Structure 1
Amino acid sequence: MDIQKNKENAIAFYKMAYEGNPTKAVTLYVGDAYKQHNPMVADGPQAFIDYFNRMQKEYPVKSMDFVRSVAEGDLVALHTHQIWPDNDEYVTMDFFRFDTNGKIVEHWDSIQQIPDTSNNNNTMY
């Protein structure tokens, strides 16, 4: 298993889907099965495509910066900073599991909105 390649592929997959081409992202990076742990998205590649197509239609202007990526074994974790319309900001942490062919087969995530104020001067990312 190529851990560095998995990190690169997780970033490319997420970026491609987020920017409006989830069908291509699934074709290039997802394995035969795709298990989803986000309660807003059903299992399977088509559910992922449908969700990201809807997000692109509803929110065409958004941005995402990849803050860091960490890989161990068959898992890759991505830490991102996202900015949505009206300057609505989020920090996300996504975990992807890869199969032995280097394809994504499982996903977990956690999303937290960045508040307007903080009790410290540190970023959440």
Structure 2
Amino acid sequence: MSKLESIVEEIYATLKDQPKHTPQQVEAVKQVLRLLTATFVTEEFDITNKLVPLHYKQHDPLVGDGRDSIFEFKNLAIAQAQKETDKKVGVPVVSFKRILVDGDYVIAHSHVIAYEGDRGTAVVDMFRYVNGEFVEHWDVLQQVPANAKNSNTMF
């Protein structure tokens, strides 16, 4: 088993607050874990290229369409985090909280920490997953505040 596959299996085993998944949904969950981990953590871009077609449709207004938009977003996020701190920004720590599957949609809710001391960002990625490829993407990102008006956490 490759390092990436070990990571995917470990993450999947630790997901909590999950609905019961069918075998097809389990495969979609593991594929989104492969995509996000290979792209943003282990930098196995050959995996990214297999899972994201050239005609990938991107809804994040800060990057363009096409497969390269996922790499463009990665570089933009690193540059933004680097601007916010004098600390070296390297591989982010991504904690997946829940992954939901409904038809062609796969939604991942995660906590991303870009550098030491970062409170992080709550991220919701929504993908359209068709025939083994992620063909469309939406996202919502929200910084984790220092103080909250409730004790529920964002996760």
* Fold shared, TM-score > 0.5 on shorter chain: yes
- Assess if the C-alpha contact under 8 Å between 2:123 and 2:140 holds in 1: yes
Query: Which structure carries more relative contact order (alpha carbon 8 Å, separation 6+)?
Result: 1
1:35-54 alignment runs, 5 A limit:
35-53=57-75
In structure 1, what is the equivalent of residue 46 of structure 2?
24
- Assess if the C-alpha contact under 8 Å between 1:18 and 1:56 holds in 2: no
In structure 2, what is the equivalent of residue 95 of structure 1?
126
* Equivalent residue letter for 2:73: Y
Identity of paired residues, percent?
29
Q: TM-score, normalised by structure 1?
A: 0.86
Matched, 1:78 2:108: yes
Normalized per residue, which structure has more strand?
Answer: 1
**Unpaired stretches in structure 2, ≥5 consecutive residues:** 1-22, 83-88
Larger CA deviation: 101-110 vs 56-65: 56-65
CA RMSD, 1 decimal: 2.1
The alignment of Structure 1 onto Structure 2 pairs a total of residues equal to: 124
- Assess if the C-alpha contact under 8 Å between 1:63 and 1:83 holds in 2: yes
Q: TM-score, normalised by structure 2?
A: 0.71
Report how far residue 12 of structure 1 moved: 1.2
Q: Which has the larger radius of gyration?
A: 2
Give secondary structure in 1 for the equivalent of 2:132.
coil
